[in-house]
Amino acid sequence: MYLTKEEEKILNGEYGWAYETSMKILVRLGDLFGATELIPIKSAHISGVSYKTVGESIDFLDALARAGGKAQVPSTLNPSSFDPEYLVGKVPRECREGQLRIISLYKEMRIEPTLTCTPYYLRKPRRGWHLAWSESSAVMYANSVLGAWTNREGGPSALAAALVGKTPNHGTHQAENRQPNVVVKVDSNLANETEFGALGIHVGKFLKERIPLFTGLTNYTEEYLKQLGAGMATTGMTSMFYYREPAPKRDLERLSVEARDIHNTIENLSTISEDPNLIFVGCPHCSLGEIHSIAEALEGRKVKGGTELWVCTSKHVKGKAESYVKIIEKAGGHVLCDTCPIVAWMKNLGTETVMTNSAKAAYYAPSYNEVGVTLAPLRQCINAACRR
Amino acid sequence: MTLRKRESLKVTVLKGRPIVPGHCRGLALVSTKPISFLGGVDSNSGLITERDHDLKGKSVKGRILCFPHGHGSTVGSYVLYSLAKKGLGPKAIVNQTADPVVVVGAIIANIPMIDQVDIQQITTGDDVEVDCSKGLIKIMKEK
């Protein structure tokens, strides 16, 4: 890989261990993927925040922060394992302290504690910007809906890119690697976010790293596309998709998806049929529009006793949604920011059964959280949450 | 750990690709399955805890750890760092195909690493010498 004089200096440790180590990571990964140079990035988004997953292996973050590592570009953080109002008092002290320590180490490195998986609602990257983002659902959204350019980074490589302000130039940073290589014809009028998410889960399994171009998608909103990308990234290694371009004339492999496939996927993701303890909306974190829809559906209704309703979003979006938040809370729901049940200690908080409108959350809940799950669209989730 | 004298051993040399430089000798611990460091290896003991893993219950400490590649969360890299810091890490890593999780982990933990090695030629307990700067691995089996 070709390095500038300045980059060589960083690699040789002239700016300290934190930058040297970050540069080593970028250069070695660049070599591995056949990159020939580093390119500047506009922002980094970093996963590896929840104490539940990172746990006690925070030694490395501690070492980087002590060595004076600071982000060189605007950098944001993925969700943590509790919110600052509702769940914070319910987690054991040790977990609370561990989580706060992780966040404060990132803050020392000048990484904003945004604690959201939808950093694009906070600052929308422009078309053509190069980014180093981890969190696969955000990578999908950035590449496919916003037209920014990012590889699917892991937590450590996104952190290294934040500290150096650059990323190796390979993969989706190069136009020739952003071409679709399979056409997916959808023979079904997908009606809601859950069906879009299920489509993602279904095709992700076949795609591996290939980039799909969907034909036949109608009635999509940006929120539905967010679910599609999140689902696809859950079961596959894809980092982008096309949804409004015409199928190219080139001879490409073709797949087709029928209504039956979507149906089966939703059925297979549901592991229980009994009434859930927890209804969860907000994987990935809700947009302002989604919070609006939830408030509308809840207006004048009450969440049943013995049932919890969690709406997860970022501090940023919650701050803009004050009137909707009031309606949701008046109905007995909770609008939680900075977290989501998947990365929280759901089971220890008394949850055994969950209903969600997110195919990604439904995919992870039984294994990561050992809870039973039902996957159903928002209307049905709200009806299950409320007294009749 | 007892290393036998070289004279009584049959030596095979394999060539791989250098990933993290370093030179060392030790006993091999070989798996045919990928390893997830996050959730699959206990960072406080060095024991492999992954469900249904062929090395479950074995310690990676001080071994030349040979496995096809990593899988699972990218935060697994941090687990390798924690292991090494506590003196519980492997002495070297030999992979079939390097993946970003293990590569980053080996870099930050400063564990010598090579890949593109046919690990099927190595057996657990073999006395192994790795020169990860040159990408060479010398396997010494009893004659």
Q: Cβ of A129: how many Cβ atoms within 10 Å?
A: 16
Q: How many residues does chain B have?
A: 143
Confidence bin at B3 (pLDDT 50/70/90): low
Helix (H), strand (E) at residue B19: strand B17-20
Check: complex ipTM more than 0.85:
no
> Which residues of chain B have a CB within 8 Å of the CB of A152?
none
- Tell me the pTM: 0.92
What pLDDT is attached to residue B4? Answer: 61
What pLDDT is attached to residue B143? Answer: 72
Per-residue pLDDT tens over the stretch A201-220: 999 988 878 999 999 998 89
Per-residue pLDDT tens over the stretch A28-63: 999 989 999 999 999 999 999 998 878 767 899 999
Per-residue pLDDT tens over the stretch A222-246: 999 999 999 999 988 899 999 999 9
Confidence bin at A349 (pLDDT 50/70/90): confident
DSSP state, residue A126: P
**What average pLDDT does the segment A78-100 reach?**
93
Higher-pLDDT residue of A355 and A388 is A355
Rounded CA-CA distance A157/B75 in Å is 10
Residue A251 has pLDDT above 90, yes or no: no
Output phi, psi for B100, to 5 deg. -55, -35
Query: What percent of the residues of chain A are helix, what percent strand, and what percent coil, each to the nearest 5?
Result: 45, 15, 40
Per-residue pLDDT tens over the stretch A125-183: 999 999 999 999 999 999 999 999 999 999 999 999 999 999 999 999 999 999 999 99
Residue with tokens 């998947």: A342
**Record: contact B78-A54, CB cut-off 8 A:** yes
Q: Which of B31, B43, B45, B73 is catalytic?
A: B73
Confidence bin at B6 (pLDDT 50/70/90): low
**Cα angle: A337, vertex A118, A371; to 5 degrees:** 60
B95–chain A nearest CA distance, Å: 14
What pLDDT is attached to residue A374? Answer: 97
* Amino acid symbol at A296: E
For A102, the token pair is 């992780």
**Which member of A55, A63, A156 has the closest CB to residue B74?**
A156
**Record: contact A156-B78, CB cut-off 8 A:** yes
Confidence bin at B141 (pLDDT 50/70/90): confident
**Record: contact B108-A154, CB cut-off 8 A:** no
What pLDDT is attached to residue B71? Answer: 84
What pLDDT is attached to residue A147? Answer: 98
Q: Cβ of B53: how many Cβ atoms within 10 Å?
A: 18
**Record: contact B108-A61, CB cut-off 8 A:** no
Helix (H), strand (E) at residue B100: helix B100-109
**Record: contact B104-A48, CB cut-off 8 A:** no
Whether the CB of A54 is below 8 Å from some CB of chain B: the reply is yes
Per-residue pLDDT tens over the stretch A288-345: 999 999 999 999 999 999 999 999 999 999 999 999 999 999 999 999 999 998 888 8
> Cβ distance B133 to B21 under 8 Å?
yes
**What average pLDDT does the segment A3-8 reach?**
98
Rounded CA-CA distance A375/A373 in Å is 7
Q: Domains (ranges, CATH) in chain B?
A: 23-142 (3.50.30.10)
What pLDDT is attached to residue A345? Answer: 82
> Which residues of chain B have a CB within 8 Å of the CB of A160?
104
Residue B136 has pLDDT above 70, yes or no: yes
Per-residue pLDDT tens over the stretch B40-98: 899 889 999 887 899 999 999 999 999 999 987 788 899 999 999 999 999 999 999 99
With pLDDT > 90 as the criterion, what percentage of chain A qualifies?
86
Per-residue pLDDT tens over the stretch A94-121: 999 999 999 999 999 999 999 999 999 9
For A346, the token pair is 């759901």
Residue A354, strand partner residues = A278, A373
**What average pLDDT does the segment A252-278 reach?**
95
Mean pLDDT (chain A) is 95
> Which residues of chain A have a CB within 8 Å of the CB of B100?
29, 32, 154, 157
Cα A356 to Cα A187, A261, A284, A342: the distances in Å are 25, 20, 11, 11
**Record: contact B74-A54, CB cut-off 8 A:** no
Whether the CB of A185 is below 8 Å from some CB of chain B: the reply is no
Q: Domains (ranges, CATH) in chain A?
A: 5-175 (3.30.499), 179-264 (3.40.1060.10), 270-385 (3.30.499.10)
**What average pLDDT does the segment A65-93 reach?**
95
**Active site annotation includes B73:** yes
Residue B1 has pLDDT above 80, yes or no: no
Residue A86 has pLDDT above 70, yes or no: yes
What pLDDT is attached to residue A187? Answer: 86
Whether the CB of A251 is below 8 Å from some CB of chain B: the reply is no
A135–chain B nearest CA distance, Å: 10
Whether the CB of A116 is below 8 Å from some CB of chain B: the reply is no
**B127-131 and B136-142 strand pairing:** antiparallel
Output phi, psi for B115, to 5 deg. -135, -170
